[in-house]
């Protein structure tokens, strides 16, 4: 809670600065526009219209200043931290990294607490009297113990540096904005190619936007890769990839000398694949036959009604399916099983697979429908000409021609099933084991990612880090499936185009 208050404070001051810069930029636009309007047309019309001159001044005012402010805001806190760290006495610095980071966070919470005090109180603290604890207590910031003098001085230094940095940032940012404004304003003139410059900046902006997708992928891979490497420093790779026991030992986590626990991937992978297989067994026949009927038999009217209705199934949020599985399907299957003398538990492979299969129907049916429609009519006509019935044509001509694309569609559905989280979290159970029984709970990779990362464990324990290794495994798995499936679908579509 306190951390978020501090965030709000810096957030407001920086955003106020940005607002000021934006105001200057708007002023720049107006000035540039007026100046361009005032250019005499004696030597023919100016190269660019006044609006472009205005935008040019806007850009020269805004962009450099915003870049600087962003850079400063990112670079200043680590810099200040290292300066404050240098302030600490030698014996603190020689402690273990964990203790050092504890000391630093104490300094930071002291610094935050002191920001609430009045200048007079700060002056009193500077004299070295041990009054800080009471003052902070009065402001609602209780301290665990009386702060050591060097911690207080480090905190004072931290606050001084932070406020200096904030002041400098404001001054330099505003100066740069004004300099940009003057520069842009002076450039406005008869022959100045303002439009080309503005369009150049726009193009650069568009290109930069298109790299966000790349950055996201890079971010995904690297964020998980680093933590995964970290994880493999705690747990050997063979334990993870070939282990058949999943037992992360939450209770023993953090205790010295406790055994590390078992992090075998195989039971989770088995559960994931088994549940996905059940889902595909439900979704593929229903989806495929729906697609065949819609594209080959149904009238236009039926098709335009049924296709969007089936696609509603793909638009329902997965949490709704999860709740449906938990509250309706699970108990129904359990009661039905009891009536037949079968022992079906409420959370089971069957429940999760069945509900996930319902969700996947439109993934199979819509894509297959498109692909079957792309098969050229001439192939069908040829088959009819030889006397084949409609179903014979579909089975012997259309489906074989569409097969690669349909396989692609099924693989896309499979990748959905493997990465699906909410249904399995609510309906599959948490038992990590290698078993065939359809009626018993099994668990999946995604369930374990959720349970490992929603606990209150410290971040550096293998119990938490394993989630990143699981995430990376999941990402690689679905990526391979997706690339292959997209390749199949695209290649197939191009074949007949």
Which residues in the 10-39 window bind another protein by CB under 8 A?
11
327 binds another protein (CB under 8 A): yes
Helix, strand or coil, per DSSP, at residue 359: helix
Q: Kindly state the smallest distance separating residue 318's Cβ from another protein, in Å.
A: 7
219 binds another protein (CB under 8 A): yes
Phi, psi of 233 (to 5 degrees): -75, -25
214 binds another protein (CB under 8 A): yes
Number of residues that bind another protein (CB under 8 A): 91
**Residue closest to 365 by CA, chosen among 419, 304, 293:** 293
**Residue closest to 72 by CA, chosen among 172, 175, 154, 159:** 172
194 and 55 Cβ atoms separated by less than 8 Å: yes
Stretch that binds another protein, among 62-70, 177-185, 289-297, 343-351 (CB under 8 A): 289-297
Query: Position of tokens 């009471």?
Result: 134
Stretch that binds another protein, among 81-89, 91-99, 132-140, 314-322 (CB under 8 A): 314-322
416 binds another protein (CB under 8 A): yes
DSSP conformation letters of 73-105: HHHHHHHHHHHHHHHS-HHHHTS-HHHHHHHHH
141 binds another protein (CB under 8 A): no
Between residues 2 and 126, which has the closer beta carbon with respect to another protein?
Answer: 2
Helices and strands of the chain, counted as H and E runs = 20, 2
8 binds another protein (CB under 8 A): yes
What is each CA distance from 302 to 285, 307, 317, 361, 391, in whole angstroms?
A: 20, 8, 26, 18, 19
**In a 10 Å sphere around its CB, with 0-12 CB exposed, 13-18 middle and 19+ buried, how is residue 358 labelled?**
buried
How far apart CA 32 and CA 13 sit, in angstroms, is: 28
How far apart CA 378 and CA 384 sit, in angstroms, is: 10
Q: Kindly state the smallest distance separating residue 445's Cβ from another protein, in Å.
A: 9
79 binds another protein (CB under 8 A): no
Between residues 262 and 478, which has the closer beta carbon with respect to another protein?
Answer: 478
Between residues 186 and 281, which has the closer beta carbon with respect to another protein?
Answer: 281
Please give the radius of gyration of the chain, using alpha carbons only, rounded to the nearest integer. Answer: 32
Stretch that binds another protein, among 89-97, 161-169, 231-239, 307-315 (CB under 8 A): 307-315
Between residues 244 and 305, which has the closer beta carbon with respect to another protein?
Answer: 305
Q: Which of residues 161-200 bind another protein (CB under 8 A)?
A: 195, 199
326 binds another protein (CB under 8 A): yes
Q: Kindly state the smallest distance separating residue 58's Cβ from another protein, in Å.
A: 16
317 binds another protein (CB under 8 A): yes
């Amino acid at each position: 809670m306190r951390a978020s208050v501090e965030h709000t404070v810096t957030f407001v001051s920086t955003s106020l600065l940005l607002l000021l810069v934006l105001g200057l930029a708007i002023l720049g636009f107006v000035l540039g526009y007026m100046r361009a309007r005032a250019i005499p047309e004696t030597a023919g019309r100016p190269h660019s219209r006044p609006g472009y001159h205005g935008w040019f001044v806007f850009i020269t005012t805004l962009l450099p200043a915003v870049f600087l402010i962003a850079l400063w805001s990112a670079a200043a806190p680590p810099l200040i931290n290292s300066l404050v760290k240098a302030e600490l006495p030698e014996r603190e610095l020689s402690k273990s990294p964990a203790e050092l980071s504890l000391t630093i966070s104490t300094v930071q919470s002291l610094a935050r607490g002191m920001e609430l005090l009045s200048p007079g109180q700060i002056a009193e603290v500077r004299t070295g009297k041990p009054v800080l604890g009471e003052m902070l207590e009065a402001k609602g910031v209780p301290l665990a113990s009386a702060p050591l003098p060097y911690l207080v001085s480090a905190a004072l230094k931290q606050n001084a540096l932070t406020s200096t940095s904030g002041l400098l940032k404001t001054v330099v940012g505003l100066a740069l904005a004004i300099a940009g404004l003057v520069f842009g304003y002076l450039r406005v003139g008869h022959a100045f190619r303002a439009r080309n410059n503005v369009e150049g900046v726009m193009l650069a902006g568009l290109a930069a936007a298109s790299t966000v997708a790349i950055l996201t992928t890079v971010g995904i891979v690297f964020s998980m890769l680093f933590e995964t490497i970290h994880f493999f420093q705690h747990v050997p790779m063979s334990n993870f990839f070939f282990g058949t026991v999943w037992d992360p030992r939450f209770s023993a986590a953090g205790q010295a000398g406790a055994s590390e626990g078992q992090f075998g991937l195989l039971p989770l992978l088995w559960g994931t694949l088994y549940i996905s297989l059940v889902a595909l067994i439900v979704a593929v026949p229903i989806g495929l036959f729906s697609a065949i009927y819609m594209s080959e038999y149904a009238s236009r009217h039926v098709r335009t009604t049924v296709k969007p209705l089936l696609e509603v199934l793909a638009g329902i949020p997965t949490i709704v399916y999860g709740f449906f599985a938990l509250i309706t399907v699970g108990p129904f299957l359990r009661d039905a099983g009891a009536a037949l003398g079968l022992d079906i538990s409420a959370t089971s492979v069957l429940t999760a697979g069945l509900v996930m299969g319902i969700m996947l129907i439109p993934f199979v049916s819509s894509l297959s429908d498109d692909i079957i429609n792309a098969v050229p009519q001439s192939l069908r006509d040829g088959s009819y000409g030889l006397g084949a019935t409609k179903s014979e044509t579909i089975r012997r001509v259309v489906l074989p021609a569409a097969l690669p694309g349909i396989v692609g569609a099924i693989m896309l559905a499979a990748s959905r099933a493997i990465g699906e989280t909410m249904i399995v979290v609510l309906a599959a159970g948490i038992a990590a084991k290698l078993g065939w029984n359809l009626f018993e709970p099994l668990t999946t990779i995604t369930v374990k990612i959720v349970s490992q990362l929603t606990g209150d464990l410290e971040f550096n324990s293998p119990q938490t880090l394993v989630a990143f290794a699981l995430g990376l495994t999941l990402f690689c798995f679905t990526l391979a499936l997706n690339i292959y499936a997209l390749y199949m679908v695209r290649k197939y579509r191009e074949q007949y185009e």
